[in-house]
Structure 1
Amino acid sequence: MKYHKSFYQIKSNEEIFSKIVKEKEHIGYYSLPFQETKEIKEFAKRVKQKHIVVVGIGGSSLGTFAIHHFLIDKENDKKLHFLESTDPIDLQRRIRKIDLKDALFIVISKSGTTIETISILKYLSSILVLDSSNTICITEEDSKLNSFAKSKEIKTFDIPKNVGGRFSVFSNVGLLPLAIMGLDIDKLLKGCQDIYNSFFEKEDYYSIIMEKARFIVENKNRFNINVIFSYSSLLDGFNKWYVQLWGESLGKININGTKQALTPVGLLGPVDQHSFLQLIMEGKRDKTVTFIKIEDFNDDLTIPNISLEGLEELDYLNNIKFKNLINKQADSTIQAVEDLKDIPYDVITIQSQDEYNIGKLMFTYELLTSIVGSFVQINTYDQPGVEAGKIILKKSLKKEK
């Protein structure tokens, strides 16, 4: 008797680990932490322009913005801009902030035909000359954007074909603009390397990431909303990057034909303590919560030792450092959630605000996404739902012509 099955069932950790190990052979983001960065750093040193403009959308910009936003006060005196929206008011407002005569435009599109990116490129080409002196392109080697760059003798940097856009932040897509801004990209990759080595050598992060992935998958029908509650505005960009990574990777149909429903939500504490927290605390139990804290903000800004008339009862705040206040707010919220005993949560503590730690955090979430995708037996790396909308848009625009 022969028996064959194609239906979905939750596999063992060992089976998933073996699948991820095999996946490394053809999914390129796994190897990015170990790449050579000499060419990137040498190019970055030669950039004289003060305004660095990333022209790209989604995976071409969100990861770069996340790291830039987290480390903005550690960058050099250059200004980093992002042109991504086709909202005409927003686009013109952003362009007005750029000294076009002192700008380097970094045009990023993996496919080379991203409608939003090429539309903005066309507009920029109508208001100034884009050439090898002020433009570089980051794209696939055989893309239409690469052909455009060659026709203008514009320097290009490659995006490997086996690295998807939302997993591309540690490729040239992110490393080049971040290096130009003076950030230590080797330190960034070292954070990724340490997570990679720990996981694949089955050390601490293997258990941490695998256990989290398994819990999410085993309870996905009950807790299908995954909330990140970041206790620092520095992580606002990370939240946005996470939403794309999680939603676009895991919102798929598995081998059973079952639609997966893992919905990402990114929140900022303490701001969202005054809005979304009420829903978490007393709303439907359909959410897991991950709290992210920064242990050391390296900033000693302190609440002054003064009394305000009518507010004397709040003088207990005097002389408290703001970094201690925000972590106390985080701890209090975590304690309140823990006391309820029916909300699954975990806590990630970032040791300090630097390249190494943001690299660790983001690579951890890339790995977590891949593992969850393997558990639910989907293609983590495509986005057919997005492609359908793109096809409709192209047809609509051509018809309008």
Structure 2
Amino acid sequence: MKNNLYYPFVSLSDEDIFTEIKKEREDIGYYSLPYVDTSVIKSRLDNLDFKQKQIAIIGIGGSTLGTYAIYNFLKYNKQRNKTLKKELFFFESTDPINLNGTIAQLNLEDTLFIVISKSGTTIETISIFKYLSSIVKMNSQNLLVITEDDSKLNSFAAANGISTFEIPKNVGGRFSVLSNVGLVPLYLAGFDIDELLKGARKISTSFFEQNELYNQLLKKARTYYEYKDVYNINAIFSYSQLLEGFNKWYIQLWGESLGKIDANNTNQGLTPIGLLGPVDQHSFLQLIVEGKRDKTVTFIKIKDFKDDTKIAPITLEGLEDLDYINGLNFKELINLQADATIASVKEYKKDIPIDLIEIEEISEFEIGKLLFYYELLTSIVGKFLRINTYDQPGVEGGKIILKEMLKKKN
């Protein structure tokens, strides 16, 4: 009797996973990005000496989501402290109303355009670039290109004397925020890219030197893996509008990286959801608390907003019963709302897996930590699932079909 068994999913130890992640660093480029010397990037950009007050980033997905996450998190602090050198605008969608609405916000003659595409042939990006090129003259004085060094977009730039910054081939788009994709526009806008990378390095060091985050990340990733058939929806509940961009970035990172066919030809995947508190306390929280038990929840709080705006200590006729909130700082209110929500889930519904991430303050260092933490967590979960975390064949199929449809259309 012949009995062949194909069970590739032998339960792996934390040590096995750690060994594989360390080995992966030799080929997957995002692991090395926190250690990049930024002096070359800064020197080149300083020498180019762009004077424009606005920056328009043309790209989609991994080319824009990470940069937007950082910009959205920090821009109000930068504006308040008058350290924001240039305002960023994002052209991501082929929605014509959105496209022209964004254009209406720009002074086109005082805008630096940055086209970002790893492949250099992204349909959405090139379509928008073509349209903008038809209404404003672009040249070396108001245009930058960020792409792979052998892409068609790079060839266009070389033929027209346009400065280019490289995206390394071994850095995937959704893991590229700490490469030139994010560093170039953020530096031009006045952000401290060294602090951004320093935050990412802190996470990397803590994990790879097997300090505090080593056990935390492995335990969290193992929990997602071992309970994936029960809790297959992972919600991030961010208590600040400043984290709206981060939520969008996380959804792409988690969904596109982990939704794969594994080594046993089985469909795998964890579904990401991005929620904002307190807004979604009045919508999605009901589903979490009394809905189907298929969700984990990660709460994210900002410990110190460094803003002392208070609820006005006034009495409004008919609303006297709510005077107990008078004089309370809004930063205290939003964190108390987060604490109350966490308590309601944790204390009364003990079958919902939750965890809490606390961000110290609104800074480049802190957002750098958060971004790299989730990149690393994604890679570890991918190892447990026995998938290729870094490809996206499901997306590529749609691109091929679209290309054929467009050719037939013309």
Common fold: TM-score over 0.5: yes
Alignment equivalent of 1:381, drawn from 390, 394, 397: 390
- Which residue matches 2:308? 300
- Which residue matches 1:60? 63
- Which residue matches 2:406? 397
Deviations 1:112-141 (A, max 9, x none): 000000001111111121111110100000
- Which residue matches 1:37? 38
**2:28 aligned with 1:27:** yes
Cα displacement (A) at 1:44: 3.9
What residue identity is the alignment partner of 1:367? L
State the secondary structure of the residue aligned to 2:255. helix
Cα displacement (A) at 1:38: 1.1
Cα displacement (A) at 1:5: 4.8
State the secondary structure of the residue aligned to 2:252. helix
- Whole-angstrom CA distance in 2 between matches of 1:271 and 1:10: 40
Contact 2:85 2:188 in 1 (8 A): no
Contact 2:263 2:387 in 1 (8 A): yes
Cα displacement (A) at 1:42: 2.5
Contact 1:200 1:206 in 2 (8 A): yes
Alignment equivalent of 2:137, drawn from 117, 129, 133: 129
- Which residue matches 1:355? 364
Alignment equivalent of 2:101, drawn from 85, 90, 93: 93
**2:338 aligned with 1:330:** yes
- Whole-angstrom CA distance in 1 between matches of 2:202 and 2:11: 28
Deviations 1:127-165 (A, max 9, x none): 121111110100000000000001110000000000000
What residue identity is the alignment partner of 2:50? V
- Which residue matches 1:11? 12
What residue identity is the alignment partner of 1:351? E
Alignment equivalent of 1:319, drawn from 317, 327, 330: 327
Alignment equivalent of 2:354, drawn from 318, 323, 345: 345
**2:176 aligned with 1:168:** yes
State the secondary structure of the residue aligned to 2:356. strand
State the secondary structure of the residue aligned to 1:320. coil
Contact 1:8 1:254 in 2 (8 A): no
- After superposition, where does 1:217-256 map in structure 2 within 5 Å? 217-256=225-264
% identity of equivalent residues: 63
- Whole-angstrom CA distance in 2 between matches of 1:4 and 1:221: 22
Alignment equivalent of 2:75, drawn from 65, 72, 90: 72
What residue identity is the alignment partner of 1:233? Q
- Whole-angstrom CA distance in 1 between matches of 2:85 and 2:185: 14
- Whole-angstrom CA distance in 1 between matches of 2:249 and 2:93: 16
Cα displacement (A) at 1:261: 2.7
Deviations 1:29-65 (A, max 9, x none): 0000001111222344422110101000000000000
Alignment equivalent of 2:378, drawn from 365, 369, 375: 369
Shifted more, 133-142 versus 39-48: the winner is 39-48
TM-score (norm 2): 0.96
- Whole-angstrom CA distance in 1 between matches of 2:274 and 2:6: 38
**Structure 1 residue runs of 4 or more that deviate by more than 4 Å after TM superposition:** 2-6
Shifted more, 16-25 versus 123-132: the winner is 123-132
Deviations 1:54-100 (A, max 9, x none): 00000000000000000002251421110110001110110111111
What residue identity is the alignment partner of 1:20? I
Count of aligned pairs: 401
Contact 1:230 1:267 in 2 (8 A): yes
Contact 1:66 1:236 in 2 (8 A): yes
Alignment equivalent of 1:177, drawn from 162, 177, 185: 185
